[in-house]
């Protein structure tokens, strides 16, 4: 690891050393005088266009404000219109470099961080980006007028103090090495946005940001175009050189995956990512792929695996007993699905940090035990005595003891222990109430998964309903926790931290719109979250997250799904070039829009 001291300066207001970058664990790859990130082409030509497609879960939008609870914003708006004080890169998960801020200083006691803004930073309306705008953004995002998850995300930040027109200090409630990255990654917008209206009433007012793009031609609710700002103030910064090369980035929205894919083949947009193995294997073929009009590739990456699963709403009485949740999970025959539905393309999700350094394995290691022992009275004994739970593996060998029939017998016994037995044609409790299950979906793509799964559940006596609703309806029901089981995906992270409070913390469980859709309310989980966000070293973070993963998996809060080890993408040939170096950690959509560039034909408008 290297930490560059060259060019550091003493911050007059804090007495701390200011630097061009901040690293949670002290490892900074690029020196103060670096010219560009190593995975971009610094001389990429500007111009041309790319037409993207929004995920079908975002089949429409009804507002421009991405920070409020109600409604759906257009895709990519925040990343293209709004800049941040610091910006990360795709090779260093816990390091960020100055963007709006030319330097950052962290107090010796780590209870504050001070940012000095670049004098050249400008909003799209020509106004300078000032410390007052940064404070205004923070105050709005932590107010009750913004979506509640922001209050959770910034809950460790005591407040923001304007020190001078271009200098702002964030004060922290405790020493937390991640907090400078948290506040440094906050989207900054102008005080003029919304013309003084209450923040939750700012709906169709276009954000006044300072990013490389502005909103262009838009078919409101359907398609949106972003137009590159030729006067973008940051285009020559090292953290922006060779990036955001397209003059126009358009997003098209479709109601379902079938219409989306047919539109791709018809030339309505340029790039698509496949998430369904069957579609990738059977649909992405034919004349257009054979003659090279469309390019199909599986792109390797170093990302941590995503967590995906059917998540229980444990706020409901019928899901309170973890034996019930474990029994429901035992009924999924993943091995059959992988053979028959997924073309053996996936790996089963094992835990909440799958494929990363933070995944719990076997019995607790000494570093985990040091964190778990003080919580022994709050944890089930098996957390200490048993290996971390793994999803059941269904065997075809009748003598294995692990056939689907064996798993269903185990599930039946667990349900009986929890007070649910089969009688009068259904699984019932001691009050005679039948056990119903409703799987909620917005695209219909989970239907082929739920159908065979439901047949297994029905053998146990469950009455299963699979319901498809519009995305806006699903989002609203998720916001108010009005569901039983939903399929949810959480992107993997190389440095999980404060966002976990929003995902698993007890406070978030009762906060409408939070990411704690499961409803986890466990003091032991809260204690481990506290250890994770307070970690001062990478080994401390690893130990805390392994212990957290172990406790969550023993809680059986979800039915694990599957994840892929590559990005499956396709794009239109002859229109784009890409850098010679591929970053280690990336999502294809943002990698393409931020670092690819147009070919000569594209620059000339030839399709």
Mean pLDDT of 402-411: 97
Residues of the chain with CATH 3.10.105.10: 307-563
Confidence band of 241 (pLDDT split at 50, 70, 90) = very high
CB-count exposure of residue 406 (10 Å: 0-12, 13-18, 19+): middle
Task: Return the SS3 of 427.
Answer: strand
Asked whether residue 1 carries a pLDDT value surpassing 60, the answer given is no
Three-state SS sequence of 449-478? HHHHHHHHHHHCCCEEEEEECCHHHHHHHH
Give the per-residue pLDDT at 55. Answer: 76
Q: How far is residue 134 from each of residues 175, 362, 410, measured CA to CA in Å?
A: 22, 46, 56
Nearest 10 degrees: Cα torsion 135, 141, 144, 147? 180
Residues 6+ apart with CB under 8 A from 24: 94, 95, 177, 178, 180, 181, 495
Phi, then psi, of 328 in degrees rounded to 5: -65, -40
Over residues 458-482, the pLDDT tens digits come to 999 999 999 999 888 898 899 999 9
DSSP-H helix ranges across 391-446: 404-417
Among residues 54, 57, 71, 61, the alpha carbon closest in space to that of 146 is found at: 71
Give the per-residue pLDDT at 12. Answer: 41
Q: How far apart are CA 514 and CA 580, in angstroms?
A: 40
Q: How far apart are CA 250 and CA 213, in angstroms?
A: 11
Mean pLDDT of 222-242: 96
Q: How far apart are CA 14 and CA 210, in angstroms?
A: 27
Contacts 24+ apart (CB under 8 A), 295-300: 295/570, 295/571, 295/572, 295/573, 296/569, 296/570, 297/568, 297/569, 297/570, 298/566, 298/567, 298/568, 298/569, 299/566, 299/567, 299/568, 299/569, 299/582, 299/588, 300/565, 300/566, 300/582
Mean pLDDT of 283-300: 95
Give the per-residue pLDDT at 602. Answer: 83
Listing DSSP states for 220-258 in one string gives: TTTEEEEEE-TT-TTTTSTTTTT----SEEEEE--SSHH
Q: In what order do the strands lie in the sheet with 213-219?
A: 49-53, 248-252, 223-228, 213-219
DSSP-H helix ranges across 123-224: 131-141, 148-153, 179-184
* H or E segment and range at residue 277: helix 277-282
Over residues 499-531, the pLDDT tens digits come to 899 999 999 999 988 999 999 999 999 999 999
Mean pLDDT of 370-377: 97
Task: Return the SS3 of 260.
Answer: helix
Q: How far apart are CA 603 and CA 60, in angstroms?
A: 29
CATH of domain 307-563: 3.10.105.10
Q: How far apart are CA 367 and CA 206, in angstroms?
A: 49
Confidence band of 56 (pLDDT split at 50, 70, 90) = low
DSSP-H helix ranges across 480-569: 499-504, 506-509, 523-533, 538-554
The residue ranking higher by pLDDT, 130 or 9, is 130
Mean pLDDT of 426-436: 96
Contact between residue 519 and residue 153 where contact means Cβ atoms under 8 Å apart:
no
Asked whether residue 87 carries a pLDDT value surpassing 50, the answer given is yes
Instruction: Tell me which residue has tokens 């003080």.
Output: 374
Asked whether residue 15 carries a pLDDT value surpassing 50, the answer given is no
Give the per-residue pLDDT at 575. Answer: 95
Number of H helices, E strands in the chain: 20, 29
Confidence band of 601 (pLDDT split at 50, 70, 90) = confident
Contact between residue 27 and residue 92 where contact means Cβ atoms under 8 Å apart:
yes
Mean pLDDT of 185-211: 96
Give the per-residue pLDDT at 256. Answer: 82
Asked whether residue 132 carries a pLDDT value surpassing 70, the answer given is yes
Instruction: Tell me which residue has tokens 């034996």.
Output: 323
Q: Which of 9-13, 129-133, 195-199 has the lowest mean pLDDT?
A: 9-13
Q: How far apart are CA 503 and CA 498, in angstroms?
A: 9
Contact between residue 576 and residue 599 where contact means Cβ atoms under 8 Å apart:
yes
How high is the mean pLDDT of the chain?
A: 92
CB-count exposure of residue 250 (10 Å: 0-12, 13-18, 19+): buried
Task: Return the SS3 of 540.
Answer: helix
Asked whether residue 417 carries a pLDDT value surpassing 90, the answer given is yes
Give the per-residue pLDDT at 607. Answer: 67
Mean pLDDT of 248-253: 96
Instruction: Tell me which residue has tokens 């025959």.
Output: 333
Give the per-residue pLDDT at 348. Answer: 94
DSSP state of 111: S
Mean pLDDT of 370-375: 97
Among residues 415, 360, 409, 364, the alpha carbon closest in space to that of 386 is found at: 364
Residues of the chain with CATH 3.40.190.10: 83-210
Asked whether residue 66 carries a pLDDT value surpassing 50, the answer given is yes
Contact between residue 264 and residue 288 where contact means Cβ atoms under 8 Å apart:
no
The residue ranking higher by pLDDT, 225 or 222, is 225
Confidence band of 13 (pLDDT split at 50, 70, 90) = very low
Question: In terms of CATH architecture, what is 83-210?
Answer: 3-Layer(aba) Sandwich (3.40)
Confidence band of 4 (pLDDT split at 50, 70, 90) = very low
Partnered with residue 105 across adjacent β-strands are 18, 114
């Amino acid at each position: 690891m290297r930490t560059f001291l060259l060019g550091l300066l003493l911050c007059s207001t804090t007495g701390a050393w200011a630097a061009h970058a901040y690293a949670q664990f002290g490892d900074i790859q690029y020196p103060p005088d670096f010219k560009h990130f190593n995975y971009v082409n610094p001389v990429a030509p500007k111009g041309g266009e790319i037409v993207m497609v929004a995920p079908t879960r975002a089949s429409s939008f009804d507002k421009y404000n991405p920070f409020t609870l109600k409604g759906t914003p257009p895709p990519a708006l925040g990343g293209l219109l709004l800049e941040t004080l610091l910006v990360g890169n795709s090779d260093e998960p816990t390091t960020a470099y100055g963007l709006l801020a030319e330097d950052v200083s962290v107090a010796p006691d780590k209870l504050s961080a001070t940012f000095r803004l670049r004098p050249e930073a400008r909003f799209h309306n020509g106004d300078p980006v000032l410390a007052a705008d940064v404070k205004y953004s923070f105050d709005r995002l932590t107010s009750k007028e913004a979506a509640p998850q922001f209050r959770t995300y910034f809950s460790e930040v005591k407040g923001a103090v304007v020190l001078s027109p271009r200098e702002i200090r964030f004060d922290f409630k405790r020493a937390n090495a991640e907090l400078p990255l948290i506040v440094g990654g906050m989207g900054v917008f102008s005080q003029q946005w919304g013309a003084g209206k209450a923040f939750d009433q700012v709906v169709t007012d276009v954000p006044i940001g300072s990013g490389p793009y502005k909103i262009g031609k838009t078919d409101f609710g359907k398609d949106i175009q972003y137009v590159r700002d030729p006067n973008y103030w940051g285009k020559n910064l090292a953290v922006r050189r060779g990036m955001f090369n397209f003059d126009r980035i358009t997003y098209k929205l479709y109601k379902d995956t079938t219409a989306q894919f047919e539109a791709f083949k018809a030339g309505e947009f340029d790039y698509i990512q496949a998430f369904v193995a069957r579609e990738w294997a059977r649909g992405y073929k034919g004349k257009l792929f054979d003659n090279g009009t469309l390019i199909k590739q599986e792109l390797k990456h170093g990302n941590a695996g995503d967590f995906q699963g059917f998540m229980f709403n444990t706020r409901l009485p019928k899901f309170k007993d973890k034996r019930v949740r474990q029994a429901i999970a035992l009924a999924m025959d993943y091995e059959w699905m992988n053979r028959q539905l997924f073309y053996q393309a996936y790996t089963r999700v094992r835990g909440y940090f799958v494929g990363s350094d933070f995944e719990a394995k076997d019995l607790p290691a000494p570093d985990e035990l040091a964190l778990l022992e003080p919580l022994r009275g709050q944890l089930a004994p098996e957390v200490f005595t048993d290996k971390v739970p793994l999803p059941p593996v269904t065997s075809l060998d009748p003598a294995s003891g692990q056939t689907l029939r064996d798993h269903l017998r185990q599930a039946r016994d667990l349900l009986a222990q929890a007070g649910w037995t089969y009688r009068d044609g259904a699984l019932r409790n001691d009050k005679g109430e039948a056990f119903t299950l409703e799987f909620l979906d917005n695209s219909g793509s989970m239907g082929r998964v739920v159908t065979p799964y439901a047949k297994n559940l029905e053998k146990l006596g469950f009455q299963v309903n699979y319901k498809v609703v519009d995305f806006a309806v699903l989002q609203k029901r998720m916001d108010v926790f009005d569901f039983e089981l939903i399929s949810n995906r959480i992107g993997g992270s190389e440095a999980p931290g404060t966002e976990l409070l929003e995902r698993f913390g007890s406070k978030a469980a009762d906060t409408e719109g939070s990411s704690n859709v499961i409803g986890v309310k466990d003091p032991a989980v809260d204690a481990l979250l506290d250890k994770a966000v307070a970690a001062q070293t990478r080994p401390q973070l690893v130990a805390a997250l392994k212990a957290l993963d172990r406790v969550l998996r023993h809680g059986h809060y979800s039915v694990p799904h599957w994840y892929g080890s590559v990005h499956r993408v396709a794009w239109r040939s002859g229109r784009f070039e890409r850098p010679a170096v591929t970053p280690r950690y990336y999502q294809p959509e943002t990698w393409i829009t931020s670092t690819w560039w147009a070919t000569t034909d594209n620059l000339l408008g030839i399709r």
